[in-house]
Chain A
Amino acid sequence: MSDKITFTIDGKECTGKKGQTIVEAAKENGVYIPVLCHYDGLKPAGACRICTVRVGGRNMAACTTPIANDIVVQNNIPELEDMRKAIVEMLFVEGNHMCPTCEKSGNCELQALGYRYLMMAPRFPYLWPTKQVDASIPKLYIDRNRCILCLRCHRGVTTKDGKHIFGPVKRGDRTMITADPELAAGMTDKQAQQAMDICPVGALLKKEVGFVVPVGKRKYDQKPIGSEIQGN
């Protein structure tokens, strides 16, 4: 079939379908490329840049770059791995992440990447920004201290007629997620749960429930992030 595409990642022969991104095709071939802003089924954002790979010597975000025949992708190379770790560290210093008290601890993808990259203390000084918590929405609250601006909520949580319930405002390091108060007030329990699940960190949390699954028994407490793809 002409739709079949063959290429390599770190020397491993891979196959994929036309139109797939490198991240999607890699996953099907059992190769883990770390991602944070990527979420299966949502339009890619290319926001976190953790999935940066080298294609033909150029750095590209694997979540937004389509595969093509015979491309040579470098993924697991020390130089890139260190820069990916640096991005995880940047996220820890640009927010205020108090993992031990966070409802998402153990289910948090940022924390899980911190573990995966054996991050002890970030190489960058903490920025200790002042962030606001928005608890005005009936069913959930936005804790911007933990928001990594992955824009998953913006892309994935909409009203039936496609209006964004969440979206970014301001720019640069002042950028923050905010909600349309009317649209957010109309969210169902199911939608609130969906928003919480879509958020990779503990920035969108459902009100009135918490710690149903005890810390220690959560997703990444059991197995490291990426193991579901790479099988280790």
Chain B
Amino acid sequence: MGKEADTVVKKAVKNHGGDATCLLDIIRDVQDAMGCVSDEAVLQIARQLGISTTDVEGVVTFYHFFSKKPVGKYSVYLNNSAVAVMKGRAAVAKAFEQGARCKFGSVSSDGVIGLFDTSCIGMNDQEPAAIINGAVFTNLTPEKAKDLVEAMKAGKDVNKMVKDLGDGQNQSALVKSMVNNNIQKKGQVLFAPFEGGSALKKAVSMNPAGVIDEMKKSNLRGRGGAGFPAGMKWSFCRDAAGKKKYVICNADEGEPGTFKDRVILTELPHMLFEGMALAGYAIGSDEGILYLRAEYAYLKDYLENVLAGLRKKKMLGKDAGGKKGFSFDISIKLGAGAYVCGEESALIESAEGKRGAPRNRPPFPAQYGYMGKPTIVNNVETYCTATRIILEGGEWYAKMGTAQSKGTKLLSVSGDCKKPGIYEVEFGMTIQTLLEECDGRPAVAVQVGGPSGNCVGKKDFGRRICFDDLATGGSIIVIGSNTDLLEVVHNFMDFFVEESCGWCVPCRAGNVILRNKLEKIMHGNGTMADLKELEDWCLIVKSMSRCGLGQTSPNPIYTTLKNFRELYEAKVKKDVEYSTEFDLAAAVEDSCKYAGRKPQLGEHS
């Protein structure tokens, strides 16, 4: 074992040039070769890179897809998002457990099958879904789970377990995935015809400042959620001191319920890479990085091939787009399972091979980003949109949408609706119209912007999807009357507890405290005073947390307390001032058993 770890680690470290900023890649190689990253391997990696074991172990244990313990020859990561639950996850999980003869969170005794929960994998339109050794399995049923278990026991190659391929490029030789695009509505910006190379050629025929001007005219706001004006970000970075600059594309897409970037990566990668290249031209950068979430690793070879094609066509590399003196290339960096790495500064940390903890700001990435150099980080959809803006002009683009939100937005619609999938709509569409289009009319609630967004009820269905009203990075989850909304809220709080990076107190401790209080109420032990406290405590976490995760993590509770207060009030005891969840009988059960006594609970019984 010691010897094996030694050779595996040596090889992995060598493959990545002994470079500590490639720590995630090194660990991934070791994990793939050995099925885990043991204490021994941690020590070897640390010593060979000349760093502390705490730095290595810190990274191994931060990311969901790395493990110090063996994860099985086949590791099943079953999505546990709220929509997966709506679509029958429990029965699928049970079928896996019965077949594998082990519980979720453990590995079968023969070491063949490991079962693990995982946060939203970006397949909400085809849940329940799981990732097994990198391959995605969608629309699972208990029967399909049973078949998969049999195939794993028989030692079948995971790619051979994929039976029917999905649509579009999901069928391409380098993807071969059963994932479906589910493109329900095409709009004028993303899904209009696009001739590869045309936008970059046009951009390099202008001067860089002109490209930024066009972006500013378009008023394009970032599509990752925060909505910061892209043109402004680019011009800050262009003006920042220093020769070396970076263009990073955020393809972490971790907000439960979004999957639009997955479809862009599958169907429109040329448009995306061209957007990154012209951004590089605009800010004066020669290097782009696509930070791809580990859940989408099944697209990596395909995307690498697209990049190779672009190099061949001289759209990337030296004199990119035919512009003498402009060189630009793009590489892909894989994540390893952490929602917080979608936060731009955490993403940069992760890309540098570290724990995905956000940085303190200022300085902002435009001044001090990847490797300390000025960097722009933009969402996948933002770059694609920039490509269209350069082709059609900023003014053309700004004619669409609302006052504060120009253009179109790609929405990922899932949940209790008949037509889940992606919709490219003009900003300003009402929730009601969207519900009609996706056939989600029996909806009682709509979660706009994912768990970190806003949960609205019928009275708000006339409101519009845009930054001026209901903002969203793309996630729209329809919740029908058969779904228990408080269970959804609880699922979202579990998500934030799991995904908090743990750096700051209000988010690390506060989310656990909020979830526990919610449970107290759900169990029927809450009082009106608990509701008041719950609201106050949400505000503490939102006001004091360090990054966007903690600042929005109370939103599932906070927005439903506001919009669905009756659900909470129906659960609380109205006639008592104080009630505890402490269960004395349960607390003394064990000791009574050993002492051979019956609990005497007196007034507590």
A residues lining the B interface (CB < 8 Å): 44-49, 52, 59, 61, 64-66, 83, 86-87, 90-91, 93-94, 123-125, 127, 148-149, 151, 154, 163-175, 178-183
Q: In chain B, residues 506-565, which have Cβ atoms closer than 8 Å to a Cβ of chain A?
A: 506, 508-513, 516, 533, 537, 540, 543-546
The interface centre, meaning the residue of B57, B508, B537 with most chain A CB atoms within 10 A of its CB, is B508
Shortest Cβ distance from B353 into chain A, in angstroms?
14
Tell me if B360 and A61 are in contact (CB < 8 A).
Answer: yes
Among candidates B46, B52, B360, B504, residue contacting A165 with C-beta atoms closer than 8 Å: B52
**Partner of A49 from B497, B501, B545 at Cβ < 8 Å:** B545
Q: Which of A90, A166, A170, A180 contacts B510 (CB 8 A)?
A: A90
Q: Label chain A's interface by main secondary structure.
A: mixed
Judging by beta carbons under 8 Å apart, are A49 and B502 in contact?
A: no
State the Cβ distance, B117 to closest chain A Cβ, in Å: 14
Chain B neighbourhood of A175, CB < 8 A: 502-503, 508
Query: Please, could you name 27 A-B residue pairs with CB atoms under 8 Å apart, sorted by A?
Result: A47-B504, A52-B543, A66-B362, A83-B540, A86-B537, A86-B544, A90-B505, A94-B509, A125-B516, A127-B512, A149-B503, A149-B505, A151-B503, A163-B51, A165-B52, A167-B54, A167-B57, A168-B54, A170-B62, A170-B502, A171-B500, A172-B497, A172-B499, A173-B502, A173-B512, A178-B54, A181-B53
* Max chain B C-beta neighbours (<10 A), residue from A66, A125, A149, A180: A180
B143 sits at the interface (CB 8 A) = no
In-complex Cβ contact of A169 among B58, B361, B499, B511 (8 A): B58
A46 to B503, CA, bound (A): 8
Task: Specify which chain A residues have a CB less than 8 angstroms from the CB of B411 in the assembled complex.
Answer: none
A179, B58: Cα distance in complex, Å = 11
**CB-nearest residue of chain A relative to B340?**
A171
Contact at B497–A167, with CB atoms within 8 Å? no
| Nearest-CB residue, chain B, relative to A84 | B544
Instruction: Give complex CA distance A208, B513 in Å.
Output: 37
Residue with the highest number of chain B CB atoms closer than 10 Å, among A45, A165, A168, A182: A168
Complex contacts, A90 vs chain B, CB 8 Å = 505-506, 509-510, 513
Instruction: Check A94–B512 contact: CB distance below 8 A.
Output: yes
Q: A86-B540, A93-B513, A180-B54 are in contact. Are A171 and B338 (CB under 8 A)?
A: yes
Which of chain A's residues have a CB closer than 8 A to the CB of B504? Answer: 46-49
Indicate whether B355 reaches chain A with its CB closer than 8 angstroms.
yes
Closest beta carbon of chain A to B309's beta carbon, Å:
38
Give Cα A48–Cα B537 distance, bound, in whole angstroms: 17
Is B55's beta carbon under 8 Å from chain A? yes
Name A52's contact: one of B54, B500, B511, B544 (CB within 8 Å).
Answer: B544
Tell me if A180 and B52 are in contact (CB < 8 A): yes
Task: Note all chain B residues with C-beta closer than 8 A to A154.
Answer: 54
Residue B591 at the A interface, CB < 8 A? no
**C-alpha spacing A90/B545, complex, angstroms:** 13
Q: Which residue of A lies closest to B59 (CB)?
A: A169
Given A93-B509, A180-B46, residue A171 in contact with residue B62 (CB < 8 A): yes
Please indicate the chain A residues that have their CB under 8 angstroms from the CB of B497 in the complex. 172-173
In the bound complex, how far is the Cα of B52 from the Cα of A19, in angstroms? 31
Chain A residues with CB under 8 A of B499: 171-172
Given contacts A127-B512, A165-B52, A167-B52, contact A48 B543 (CB under 8 A): no
Most-contacted residue by chain A among B499, B506, B511 (CB, 10 A): B506
Q: A33 to B501: give the CA distance in the assembly, Å.
A: 26
Contact A164 B508 (CB under 8 A): no
Give A167's nearest chain B residue, CB to CB: B54
Give Cα A61 to B544, complex, Å.
9
B116 CB, nearest partner CB in chain A, Å: 15
Q: How far is the CB of A44 from chain B (nearest CB, A)?
A: 7
With contact pairs A48-B505, A83-B544, A175-B502 given, residues A169 and B61 touching in the complex (Cβ less than 8 Å): yes
Closest to A172 in B: B500
Within 8 Å of chain A (Cβ to Cβ): is B460? Answer: no
Answer whether A168 and B58 are a contact pair too, CB < 8 Å, given A87-B505, A90-B513.
Answer: yes
The 10 A-B residue pairs with the shortest CB-CB distance, nearest first, are A167-B54, A175-B502, A94-B509, A64-B360, A90-B509, A172-B500, A164-B52, A180-B53, A180-B52, A46-B360
Kindly list chain B residues whose C-beta atoms are within 8 Å of the C-beta of A94.
505, 508-509, 512
**Complexed CA–CA distance, A86 and B509 (Å):** 11
Could you tell me the distance between the alpha carbons of A66 and B363 in the complex, rounded to whole angstroms?
10
From A174, which residue of chain B is reached at the shortest CB distance?
A: B502
